[in-house]
Amino acid sequence: GVTLLSDYKPYPFEIASVSLIFRLDPAATRVLATLDVTPRQPGADMVLQGEDLTLISLSLDGRTLAPGDYLLDETGLTLPAAGLPAGPFRLQTEVEIAPAANTALEGLYMSNGMYCTQCEAEGFRHITFYPDRPDVMSRFHVRIESDLPVLLSNGNPVGQGPGWAEWDDPWPKPAYLFALVAGDLRATSGSFTTRSGRKVDLNIWVRPGDEDRCDFALGALARSMTWDEEAYGREYDLDLFNIVAVDDFNMGAMENKGLNIFNSKLVLASPETATDTDYERIEAVIAHEYFHNWTGNRITCRDWFQLCLKEGLTVYRDQSFTRDVRLGGLKRIEDVAALRARQFREDAGPLAHPPRPDRYKEINNFYTATVYEKGAEVVGMLATLLGPEGYRAALDLYFDRHDGQACTIEDWIKVFEDASGRDLSQFKLWYTQAGTPKLTVSETYAAGTLTLDVMQMTPPTPGETEKPPRHIPLAVGLLSPNGDEVVPTVVLELTETRQSFRFEGLSARPVPSILRGFSAPVILERATTPAEQAFLLAHDTDPFNRWEAGRTLARQTLMAMARGEGAQLDYLDAVGRLIADDEADPGFRAACLRLPGEDEIAAALFARGDTPDPEAIRVARRKLMKMLATRHGAALSRVYDSCAVAGPYSPDAGPAGRRALRLATLALLTTEDGGARAAALFAEATNMTESIGALNLLVAEGKGQGQLAGFAARWAADPLVMDKWRMAQGALTPPEDAAETVARLAAAPEFDWKNPNRFRSLLGGFAANHAGFHRADGAGYALYADWLLRLDPLNPQTAARMSTAFETWRRYDAPRQAHAKAALARIAATPGLSRDLGEMVGRLAG
């Protein structure tokens, strides 16, 4: 079945409170639920979702119901209106479930002997019969019975004894925010006092042995709490905040009220086992889940079509947090690079959908880059249009007006309209339409006046041909020919298909810096010269556009080389100046030195009408790296030597930036020195950033067999670290050997098909191995399809997510397309395919 936005109807019953008793057992857990129900619409049947539940008993106001009193099918339970009282009543159910057999990791499941839950989006229906929809909010009381030492749920502990614990959550919430954890766990604890004086106990719960990797996460939580008070005036609202690390988890983390559950790779960090990037990511995800307490939990979504209401906003908030606590300019560059790599790719292919979709078969398939990252960009545009004070006023109004409610994108837009007095009906298209707008900008200069002519066009996406113009904030600045800023950033507002903007009183023809800070998620097209890009790379005051100029030069050079043309001299020289520019921030220089990836080059070639050749792209990229190393070898060596970071490890932006620059120079040098420096760095590294950084470079050269074996010997007992080793080989093994290598690693005894981190590292790595995955003989596609089919019966949600590796198949030549189509058809034809993967392959082939 398809679920439609237009079919929304309020739930005809109110559930003021729910009490749950869990008698935990791996094979036969009993769940007793008591619902206090008030009918709100006479004559309505009561529908409760429930899947894979064995119904033990059912009673209404104490009277046991017989099978004839209700309807039970594989989606749930219906109590016909005729049998329901007109006033309040109490409904009790008892069901049995088998958490140890739950490999889908949705609902209640087990991970290494501990019980845990994942209920978003529709996992609660695997725990008990309930209206499993976000607009039904209720007070939860939970009793857990188990011999395990630590028993946790949402809210506050209200009682415990040998073999039991009780929890009460004072904040009404939808079922998707329910959580339960039971296990042998150890806490790393701290406390935080909110600015109004509430003392909050903070705990990070992990398996015994992992306690020494929790300090960073605990600090990140306290930093997040402080930031949300300062930036949004939001305080925490319980006396306790628990975070639990779980090894088997489908996503990154989950914002359950007062009991966040995290993938252990996003909690555990030590210098020896986590990279600088891991540290930054951990801090950002801790912040993200914490921020959900207001944007998600206190104000939630009316239905799952509104997912970006909480996710886009919360990603915007976590990105802003990281910009504030680390290096703002660099963070923006990283976020835009990720947006283009994942979301622009999604928007350009068969899976394109609006940030607020209006139909789905399986909601788990819509936890996408479009909902999250584009959703965040849309919030960022609102902030740009209203300015900092206007944005803050709108958010204050949002919290005042909607606290405790389940809301829609319409409610959200209305808040911005009311706070600013502006009409945002055109802006709303960003939420309801798919596709990345293309801006074409040209300019003329005469008599001290620069005129920018801007045209916008959004290409059609599946099911959407009509694309009216959007409301787009375009940040622009002007530089004088000697590099001074003559017009500081102004925000132009585009609302029409074609518009012109004039800048008067200039003394010479300026160089425009357009789309500063990436003020809108669009593709900018403008005829420029390599010399002008090199000028912007050297002089722009906007860090994003400086980087963007270098990126454009690199991409254009690589595209030319992939078509068999020569390298762009302006680019080679500009890189030389950047390497020598010791004034520039090291992290920024590192970002500029990293070449666009092969997938980005393929996308750019396809966008201009070429058929990308994965092999030629790979060869061009490696050739350019070698040319840079040959031309700038001495300067690169100097930077490499001077960027070594001495002293104890710190994940702060300063030292992390120096390590990043060092690895970026090493990547170039390694193409020329036979891997000598990388091998030396690997041998002496005392932190994971440099250890895996050096190993990655060796693997990419088709070398490093000894180092791979050494790494495996050292880290065999640490699957999270070994995931980096699997990822390195999946993503970087030269294409001719990649499929065989990953097939061998997937067959190894320690490769656990039930753990999402394992296959995400290996399969995800291989999907990112552009020339390996898109091998001309189709071996990459075939292998990948085998894996998806193996994974689907165990974990449909993750199998469906991993199938996005196929979203670009239409870019490539006819033989490759035929292989990809055959792989998708083989999946689609498999009997018993999950709804999750079924929907995805249908859309991918579509």
List interacting residues with Zn ion (CB under 5 A): 311, 314
In which region does residue 158 sit, left (phi positive, over 0), alpha (psi from -120 to 50) or beta (all else)?
A: alpha
CB of 314 to ligand ARG, least distance (A): 7
Interaction between residue 367 and ligand ARG (CB under 6 A): yes
Site for ligand ARG in 109-138 (CB under 6 A): 120-121
Query: What does the block give as tokens for 7?
Result: 């079919």
Residue of the chain from 251, 617, 661, 788 that contacts ligand ARG (CB under 6 A): 251
In the complex with ligand ARG, which residue's Cβ is closer, 151 or 253? 253
Interaction between residue 738 and ligand ARG (CB under 6 A): no
Our measurement of the distance from residue 170's CA atom to the centroid of its chain's CA atoms, rounded to an integer in Å, reads: 30
Other C-beta atoms lying within 10 Å of the C-beta of residue 159: 10
Q: Which residues contact 551 (CB under 8 A, 6 or more apart)?
A: 592, 596
Which residue of the set 283, 289, 690, 807 is catalytic? Answer: 289
In the complex with ligand ARG, which residue's Cβ is closer, 120 or 613? 120
Residue 367 near which of ligand ARG, Zn ion, none (CB within 5-8 Å, type-dependent): ligand ARG
> Distances in Å between the alpha carbon of 243 and those of 122, 133, 205, 281?
21, 24, 6, 16
Interaction between residue 253 and ligand ARG (CB under 6 A): yes
Sheet holding 71-73, edge to edge: 46-49, 76-79, 71-73
Site for ligand ARG in 297-316 (CB under 6 A): 311
In which region does residue 242 sit, left (phi positive, over 0), alpha (psi from -120 to 50) or beta (all else)?
A: beta
Residue of the chain from 255, 335, 347, 613 that contacts ligand ARG (CB under 6 A): 255
Closest CA to 515 of 495, 537, 489, 534: 489
Site for ligand ARG in 3-32 (CB under 6 A): none
Q: Which residues contact 209 (CB under 8 A, 6 or more apart)?
A: none
For tokens 């690895």, name the residue.
Answer: 663
In the complex with ligand ARG, which residue's Cβ is closer, 217 or 254? 254
d(CA 282, CA 241): 17
For tokens 């097939």, name the residue.
Answer: 743
In the complex with ligand ARG, which residue's Cβ is closer, 251 or 476? 251
In the complex with Zn ion, which residue's Cβ is closer, 311 or 792? 311
Segment interacting with ligand ARG, rule: CB under 6 A, options 7-15, 248-256, 397-405, 446-454: 248-256
Interaction between residue 836 and ligand ARG (CB under 6 A): no
Closest CA to 545 of 512, 522, 586: 512
What SS3 state is found at 136?
Answer: coil
DSSP structure class, residue 303: S
CB of 173 to Zn ion, least distance (A): 15
Closest CA to 657 of 354, 123, 280, 115: 280
CB of 119 to ligand ARG, least distance (A): 8
In the complex with ligand ARG, which residue's Cβ is closer, 24 or 121? 121
Segment interacting with ligand ARG, rule: CB under 6 A, options 46-54, 63-71, 246-254, 586-594: 246-254
Site for ligand ARG in 430-459 (CB under 6 A): none
CB of 121 to ligand ARG, least distance (A): 5
In the complex with ligand ARG, which residue's Cβ is closer, 118 or 519? 118
Size of the site for ligand ARG (CB under 6 A): 11
Other C-beta atoms lying within 10 Å of the C-beta of residue 375: 29
Segment interacting with ligand ARG, rule: CB under 6 A, options 253-261, 391-399, 481-489, 819-827: 253-261
Residue of the chain from 254, 478, 728, 763 that contacts ligand ARG (CB under 6 A): 254
CB of 776 to ligand ARG, least distance (A): 35
Segment interacting with ligand ARG, rule: CB under 6 A, options 188-196, 251-259, 342-350, 836-844: 251-259
> Cβ(431)–Cβ(414) under 8 Å?
no
CB of 371 to ligand ARG, least distance (A): 9
CB of 758 to Zn ion, least distance (A): 23
CB of 251 to ligand ARG, least distance (A): 4
Encode 421-455: b = buried (16+ Cβ within 10 Å), e = exposed.
Answer: eeebeebbbbbebbbbbebebebeeeeeebebebb
> Distances in Å between the alpha carbon of 753 and those of 137, 594, 747?
36, 33, 10
Residue of the chain from 166, 247, 289, 377 that contacts ligand ARG (CB under 6 A): 289
Other C-beta atoms lying within 10 Å of the C-beta of residue 721: 20
Site for ligand ARG in 337-366 (CB under 6 A): 364
Whether 289 sits among the annotated catalytic residues: the reply is yes
Segment interacting with ligand ARG, rule: CB under 6 A, options 20-28, 167-175, 200-208, 250-258: 250-258
Closest CA to 395 of 232, 159, 201, 602: 232
CB of 251 to Zn ion, least distance (A): 9
> Cβ(262)–Cβ(285) under 8 Å?
yes
Other C-beta atoms lying within 10 Å of the C-beta of residue 718: 13
In the complex with Zn ion, which residue's Cβ is closer, 267 or 592? 267
Interface with ligand ARG (CB under 6 A) = 120-121, 251, 253-255, 288-289, 311, 364, 367
Q: Which residues are tagged catalytic?
A: 289
